[in-house]
Structure 1
Amino acid sequence: MNKRSLGNSELLISPIVMGTWQAGKKMWVGIEDSETVKAIRSGFEAGITTVDTAEVYGDGHSEQIVAEALADVRDRVVYATKVFANHLKYDLVLEACERSLKNLKTDYIDLYQIHWPSGTWKSEIVPIEETMSALNKLKQDGKIRAIGVSNFSRAQLEEASQYGRIDSIQPPYSLFWRQVEKDLTPYCVEQNISILAYSSLAQGLLTGKFKADHQFAEGDHRAANKLFKGENLSRATQALEQLKPIADRHQTTLGNLALAWLIAQPQTNAIVGARDAAQAIQNAKAAKIALSAEELQAIDAIGRTVTDRLDDNPVMWNF
């Protein structure tokens, strides 16, 4: 898998990134640690050398599973993790980083990201200057190699950038969820900031596996995802039918077609989770799909039949 530069940093990342929210198990159902370890390892062996996690995913459990899967190949992988919104005061950032280093069994984190802006999830308001000061200190000390943000608006990203170099932003972004294109993407192109798209398969909707009458198991957070409800789901189902001939032409899956489209967008890389080894290996294949300009345009138009009817709320779930 051809690697790409992360922003202006020296880090080289795989355009398909292993997502590990599910590895934390909290808010997911049917997740087995042994299968997750195999998935992460199989993804690495298939070329997915970048792994994204967070302290809040299962209160560190996800980070521990990443370490279990990849500790022996640490020098060949890029670890990206995140500090949560309730730990953005100077000292709390430093403490959170130490916990993540311990969980990941490493002495440095490649990409350390602010998971959500200060004030979200009922967190205390902390000036971004204070948080960035802590991140700059960690970078100066060699404990982190690059700084990123997640779920920031363009205005929040611009403000953070006044206090230090931001090399990436992690927003929800997929063929069926495209708010970032309005103002974030142009700024990221201008400033050479990498986009690490999460929910890049619209939480599985873009795989075509979900029917109109699907019922999620109790505890599955996708039940609150706006895309899985009413007319949104109906429009998505129709769009997937239109995408199928393009996928068939490339002898690939609907999910991988959506990923190939996504990583062809400016500055964009795709975070994708996997429950087992087979899914991870399948996800890696998306990087090999070459879409023509005409196909990219056709896929874009089909995706807009879903996204043009969504509201402007940047949060995907009605929690």
Structure 2
Amino acid sequence: MQKRTLGKSDVQITPILMGTWQAGKKMWKGIEDADSIKTIRAAFEAGITTIDTAEVYGEGHSEQIVAEALSDVRDRVEYATKVFSNHLKYDQVITACDRSLKNLKTDYIDLYQIHWPSGAFNSETVPIEETMKALTFLKEQGKIRAIGVSNFSKTQLAEASKYGRIDSLQPPYSLFWRKIETDAMPYCIENNISILAYSSLAQGLLTGKFAADQRFDPEDNRAKNKLFQGENFKHAQQALEKLRPIADRHNSTLAQLALAWLIAQPQSNAIAGARYPKQATDNALAAELKLSADEIAEIDAIGRIVTDHLDDNPVMWNW
């Protein structure tokens, strides 16, 4: 898989990244460590070398599983992890980074990201200048190679950029969730900031595997995902039916089509999670799917069957 440069850094990433929220187990049902390890390894063997995790995914469990799967090939992979919104004071950032380094069994993190802006989830408000000072210090020490942010608006991204180089933004972004296109994307294009899209398959909705009567366990985070509820879910089913003929033309799956569309967008790369090895291998194949300009426009229009009916709230879940 041909790599891309992360922002203006010297980090090279794959356009499809392996997402490992599910490996942390918390807020997911039916996840087994052995499956997660095999799946992460399968992603690597299929050409996905950039792995995204976070300290909050199972309180470090996801990071530990990533290390279990890839420590022997550490020199051939890129680790991206995140510090949560309750650890954004200077000393907390340093401590959290050291904890993640230990969990990942490594002495450097390729991309270290602020997971949510200060104040999110009722966390204490910390000036972004203080957090960025800590991240810059970690970069100078060689403990991290690049700085990124996640779930930041354009305004928040621009403010953070005053205090250090930001090389990536990680927003929710998919064919069915496109808030970033009218907010931070123009800023990212102008400033050469890579977009690392999470929920790039709309938490599995874009795979087409969920029936119209799908019900989720209350402990599954998708039970609160707006896209799986009411009219939004009906619109998604309508859009998926229109996408199927395009996928068939390419002998691809709906998921591969959705990922190929996403990584064809400006500055955009796709984080795709997987429970099982075949899913990870299939995700990797999306990087080989080439869409024409007409097809990209056609897929774009189909996606709006869903997005034109969504409200302006940038958060995908009713938490």
User: Aligned partners of 1:11 and 1:194: how far apart in 2?
Assistant: 11
- Counterpart check, 1:158 vs 2:177: no
1:219 positional shift: 1.0
1:212 positional shift: 1.5
User: Aligned partners of 2:95 and 2:146: how far apart in 1?
Assistant: 18
The aligned residue for residue 66 of structure 1 is 66
Secondary structure of 2:86's match? Answer: helix
User: Aligned partners of 1:211 and 1:175: how far apart in 2?
Assistant: 19
- After the TM superposition, which segments of 4 or more aligned residues of structure 1 sit over 3 Å from their partners? none
1:135 positional shift: 0.1
- Counterpart check, 1:110 vs 2:110: yes
Q: Deviations over 1:12-50 (max 9, x none)?
A: 000000000000000000100001000000100100000
1:276 positional shift: 1.0
Which amino acid in 1 is paired with 2:117? P
Secondary structure of 1:303's match? Answer: helix
Matches within 5 A, 1:34-113: 34-113=34-113
Which amino acid in 2 is paired with 1:303? G
Secondary structure of 1:81's match? Answer: strand
User: Aligned partners of 1:14 and 1:84: how far apart in 2?
Assistant: 24
Q: Deviations over 1:267-292 (max 9, x none)?
A: 00000001011111011000000000
1:211 positional shift: 1.4
Which amino acid in 1 is paired with 2:289? I
Q: TM-score, normalised by structure 2?
A: 1.00
Matches within 5 A, 1:1-12: 1-12=1-12
Matches within 5 A, 1:141-220: 141-220=141-220
1:218 positional shift: 3.5
1:215 positional shift: 0.8
Secondary structure of 1:86's match? Answer: coil
Which amino acid in 2 is paired with 1:151? N
Identity of aligned residues (%): 74
User: Aligned partners of 2:317 and 2:277: how far apart in 1?
Assistant: 28
User: Aligned partners of 2:108 and 2:270: how far apart in 1?
Assistant: 23
Q: Deviations over 1:185-222 (max 9, x none)?
A: 11000000000000000000000011121011241110
Q: Deviations over 1:216-255 (max 9, x none)?
A: 1241110000000111000100000000000000000001
Secondary structure of 1:68's match? Answer: helix
Superposition RMSD on alpha carbons, in Å?
Answer: 0.5
Which amino acid in 2 is paired with 1:108? Y
Q: TM-score, normalised by structure 1?
A: 1.00
1:305 positional shift: 1.1
Secondary structure of 1:118's match? Answer: coil
Say which is worse superposed, 218-227 or 113-122, in terms of deviation: 218-227
The aligned residue for residue 289 of structure 1 is 289
Q: Deviations over 1:64-83 (max 9, x none)?
A: 00000000000000000000
Question: Structure 1, unaligned stretches of length 5 or more?
Answer: none
Which amino acid in 2 is paired with 1:202? A
User: Aligned partners of 1:120 and 1:153: how far apart in 2?
Assistant: 13
User: Aligned partners of 1:149 and 1:2: how far apart in 2?
Assistant: 24
Secondary structure of 2:298's match? Answer: helix
- Counterpart check, 1:252 vs 2:252: yes
Secondary structure of 2:184's match? Answer: helix
Which amino acid in 2 is paired with 1:209? K
User: Aligned partners of 2:217 and 2:286: how far apart in 1?
Assistant: 29
Q: Deviations over 1:81-121 (max 9, x none)?
A: 00000000000000000000000000000000000000001
The aligned residue for residue 124 of structure 1 is 124
